[in-house]
Structure 1
């Protein structure tokens, strides 16, 4: 079902983008990077977060970590990650396949500026074995995401 909701979303918003399905799991950044032949940083991981009463998605590069200070400044309160069951219920996607496409519940989407280091990123596509290749700017455009700076990476200096 989740993969189908992503297919329907892409058919409407970006019919030229194909979903890539692998035989093996791509549920972690390391597995996805290996399966798709890219660096872990190029995997676009989607975090489902809550700040106060607000729930939202943040898409960031695979090797980035949420910076608690930046996130608190950006969202006005301490943030926390949601549990797997709540993530699946809200997004319609299983953990490991969570993406900003074809959501079960409309959620605000934010893209971390760390994604802009790449011409193409590889986000999941609603299943633990599915993904797609997309330019970060286009991903932000079709999901109506806002750009924010809430992450840090060990190998990239802060802007």
Structure 2
């Protein structure tokens, strides 16, 4: 497995500190984020999942703790939209350039508005997908916010 991905290149270019971790990705896991947290021996609240949604038909990236669900109503409101829905996996892969299970908020093919759940900023360090299945990056959540210019909002269901 390569530890150099578009995500790690974007983080290096942004000049932020991060550490790369590999884990055994299970494609049959009920929850990829929870499986990553368990494999890393970390609290699921610190292992964030990257989801792709459509708000009023436009792509939006949303970052939330792996043990939580997104409120579509709150997500839409966070970017001044009316309605939101999860993006279908093939569309998410086409827009981000990553495979589902390996979608990172960093280094996506085309930058899209990003929302990070406000509770994620309470941690000293968080884990996010590093741009491929079985690869996580650990970093300061304020750096996550700053690198992707994320809106900070309560988007939990």
Aligned to 2:47: 43
Question: Distance between the aligned counterparts of 2:114 and 2:38, measured in 1?
Answer: 26
Aligned to 2:73: 69
Q: Does 1:91 align with 2:131?
A: no
Q: TM-score, normalised by structure 1?
A: 0.85
Match of 2:116 among 111, 118, 124: 111
Which is worse superposed, 26-35 or 135-144? 26-35
The Cα shift of 1:29 comes to 1.5
Change (3 A) 1:92 1:3: farther
- Kept in 2, the 8 Å contact 1:14–1:142? The answer is no
Change (3 A) 1:119 1:26: farther
Q: State how many pairs are aligned.
A: 151
Aligned to 1:52: 56
Aligned to 1:157: none
Alignment of 1:128-143 (within 5 A): 128-143=133-148
Change (3 A) 1:18 1:50: same
The Cα shift of 1:2 comes to 10
Aligned to 2:25: 25
Which blocks of at least 5 consecutive residues in structure 1 are unaligned? 153-159
- Kept in 2, the 8 Å contact 1:2–1:92? The answer is no
Could you say what the CA RMSD is over the residues aligned between the two structures, in angstroms?
2.0
Residue deviations 1:52-87, cap 9 Å, x none? 132110101111211233234334211011111111
The Cα shift of 1:114 comes to 2.2
